[in-house]
Amino acid sequence: MRGVIRMVEEDEYCIDIIRQIQAIQSALNKVSSGILENHLNSCVTTAIQGDDTKERERVLKEISEVFSMANKV
């Protein structure tokens, strides 16, 4: 992000700034996907297989909220 801020401050070419922002977004999406996959394979799986109905509902609601927020962006 500092690089993008510097690019803007130094009045770099707009397309170059946009490309850099897209690269950052892509990298963040990859990290987010990895974290979500790990969460699904650990926390969510444990909650679904457990006996606590409220915990199961909570983790499923969280996943639903994550996908809802992703679709708004």
At 18-35, the pLDDT tens digits run 999 999 999 999 999 999
Distance between CA atoms of residues 13 and 38, nearest Å = 38
- The pLDDT of residue 17 is 98
Domains of the chain: which residue ranges? Answer: 2-72
Q: Rounded to whole angstroms, how far apart are CA atoms 53 and 45?
A: 13
Contact, 20 vs 43, CB < 8 A?
no
Kindly indicate the confidence band of residue 48, based on its pLDDT and cuts at 50, 70 and 90. very high
CA distance 36 to 42: 10
Of 23, 20, 27, 25, which Cα lies nearest the Cα of 6?
20
This prediction's pTM: 0.76
State residue 72's pLDDT score: 80
CATH for the stretch 2-72: 1.20.58.1000
Question: What is the average per-residue pLDDT within 38-62?
Answer: 95
Please identify which residue in the block is written with the tokens 């009045």.
Answer: 11
Mean pLDDT of all residues in the chain?
94
